[in-house]
Structure 1
Amino acid sequence: MPTGKIIKALSGFYYVLDRKGVISCRGRGVFRNNKTTLLVGDEVIYEKADDLSGYIMEVLPRKNELIRPPISNVDQAILVFSALEPDFSSKLLDRFLVLVESNNIKPIICVTKMDLVKNDTIKEVVEEYRKIGYNVILTSVREEQSLKEIKAFISNKISVFAGQSGVGKSSLLNAINPTLNIETNTISESLGRGKHTTRHVELLNVNDGLVADTPGFSSLDFEEITKEELGDYFIEIKEKSAECRFRGCLHTAEPKCAVKSAVEHGEIAEFRYQHYKEFLDEINERKPRY
């Protein structure tokens, strides 16, 4: 039986891309029975009913998967945040980074709407992320050079574009490839955030790569992350934790903590450490699962 990749899921149909094109498939009842959720990005084995339709018979093993947005087998996540409208949030960015790092997906930070910025505050903050080792792209749909940078990252990769609503993900993709013609919308003045213009996950062919334009969302939970694991998803904290005196140090109240010392000496950004502690409190306050 042929194999392919799910590139779109909509209204119970799964659109599978193989070497010959796209075929519309239904999932077998066995997936409902064993509670397997078919995801965009899944490599599947399918059986043809005719030239245009078929049934998905099996999902091949995934190398990773995200819950929100629901997608699998991602090479990298391009985290799109705006400099203004809505305002840049390093805390929300760190939430996304923790989620992406915990799924072993390479993150790339993209800050849009830089043409609206009147001072260097945003540049100073994102420079901290560059120091940590993250790739950071400062862009505007009006700056061709920054769009070329994004195209280079996209080529021959499966990328997920994710970020807060209204930051300009769809506008950015339209600027990279105008033929996409993805629906865009403006910021709600009353809510201060964008309207959800993307309503489903779909892999789009962009610059010799596949890109997922995903529904925007504004909050993330750490349901699958333990307090012991959290520090591993802050690159600089993980590096310094090897020097802590006590094994399993959570970098809060423990003596001779290398992480706290690094924060005091400016080796770890104070705002990143504060976010780590806030996320740790959130995990500690999480209700136990039964």
Structure 2
Amino acid sequence: MRKGQIRKAISGFYYVYVDGQTFQTRGRGNFRVKNMSPLVGDYVDFESDNKTEGILIDIYPRKNELIRPTVANIDYGIIVMSAVEPDFSSYLVDRFLVYLEDKRIKPIIYVTKMDLLDEKTTAEMKAFKIYYESIGYKMILSDYPASETSLNTLIQVIGKGAAVFMGQSGAGKSTLLNQLMPELELETGEISTALGRGRHTTRHVELHPIGDALIADTPGFSTIDLVDIEEADLPSLFPDFVALRDECRFSGCMHINEPNCRIKAAVETGEIAKYRYDHYLQFYEEINTRKPMYVKKKK
């Protein structure tokens, strides 16, 4: 029996990497009995007499697990956003940031198509960068196609970690990966004029070694659900709030209607960006009003 990592999954086959070799495997039937499904990124035990007929035996505990994309044990989430066509959305950035914070995955914000902006909108984008980096996030502004410098910066930040691409459809996730690893020749899609977003072009999840990093190319999607996030946990997913929350009058302050709230005061003075607080209120309302999910009991 050997230990390896699933780097690709297609049509019921799991491709396990170990010691510079890849083994094609299938899962055991008891995974279905246990309601377990191997994911790309999983560390597994497997048996194999050759490279094409292996069997997965067991899955090691995961440090995290994503549904969109379906991948496990991720260190970094690369939020790929377009500066224009489609337009940059701080709401969507913050939505992904909250999602990644909840999964304990470190975000990297990567903005494409900077060369299409005029002087005024370039200054606005740089202001976003200054704020996001002031609260602990890395934000890389690139031209389009990406310059060698910005790509090198991205790889240096990831280091030896595993990363997923996520963010706006049409922002250039597959294009970026093609630039990082041209031999992949991943299909890319044009922007739909009618819908203002790109077609989904990636058909499966795969971890690709790039330098010391592992990067998964994943289908583009325009938003994510916050179904796993509870109302009481939301304030802790905003690092700019966390830095000041101990100065609120009440312990467990939700920063909405409570008196002497340090967060609301910081929004008034500009210490916390108003758009961040507005997005917080939108997420809070969404979580607060969602319908409870009921699980049907087995007979």
Q: TM-score, normalised by structure 2?
A: 0.94
Tell me the percent identity: 51
The answer (yes or no) to whether the contact 1:82–1:112 under 8 Å persists in 2 is yes
Q: For structure 1, which segment, 119-128 or 198-207, has the greater mean C-alpha deviation from structure 2 after superposition?
A: 119-128
Further displaced range: 269-278 or 123-132 = 123-132
Counterpart of 1:134? 137
Name 1:206's counterpart in structure 2.
210
Check whether the contact 1:16–1:23 (CA below 8 A) recurs between aligned residues.
yes
Counterpart of 1:250 (choices 250, 254, 257) is 254
Q: Displacement, 1:49?
A: 4.8
Deviation at 1:110, TM superposition (A): 0.6
2:120 equivalent to 1:115:
no
Partner amino acid, structure 2, of 1:60: Y
Whole-angstrom distance in 1 between the partners of 2:226 and 2:88: 21
Q: Which 10-residue stretch deviates more, 133-142 or 195-204?
A: 133-142
Preserved contact between residue 154 and residue 206 of structure 1 (Cα < 8 Å) = no
For 1:268, the equivalent position in structure 2 comes to 272
Any gaps of 5 or more consecutive residues in structure 1? none
Task: Give the corresponding residue for 2:59.
Answer: 59
Of residues 152, 160, 163 in structure 2, which corresponds to 1:159?
163
Partner of 1:224: 228
Instruction: Report the Cα distance in structure 2 between the residues aligned to 1:151 and 1:203, rounded to whole angstroms.
Output: 14
Amino acid at match of 1:73: N
Contact conserved, 2:15 with 2:23, CA < 8 A, in 1? Answer: yes
User: What secondary structure sits across from 1:212 in the alignment?
Assistant: strand
Q: Structure 2: state its 5+ residue gaps.
A: 295-299
Give the Cα separation in 1 of the matches to 2:58 and 2:112. Answer: 39
Stretch of structure 1 that moved more, 45-54 or 261-270: 45-54
Q: CA deviation at 1:289?
A: 2.3
Deviations 1:58-93 (A, max 9, x none): 000111111211111111111111101111111011
Q: What residue in structure 1 maps to residue 179 of structure 2? A: 175
- Paired positions, count: 290
- Give deviations 1:112-138, integer Å, cap 9, x for gaps: 111111132222223221221211111
Which residue of structure 2 lines up, in the alignment, with residue 30 of structure 1?
Answer: 30
Residues of 2 paired with 1:86 and 1:53: CA distance?
A: 45
After TM superposition, the structure 1 stretch with the greater mean CA deviation from structure 2, 226-235 or 145-154, is 145-154
Against the structure 1 CA distance between its residues 99 and 225, is the aligned structure 2 distance closer, same or farther, given a 3 Å change threshold?
A: same
Kept in 2, the 8 Å contact 1:154–1:211? The answer is no
Amino acid in the other structure paired with 2:140: I
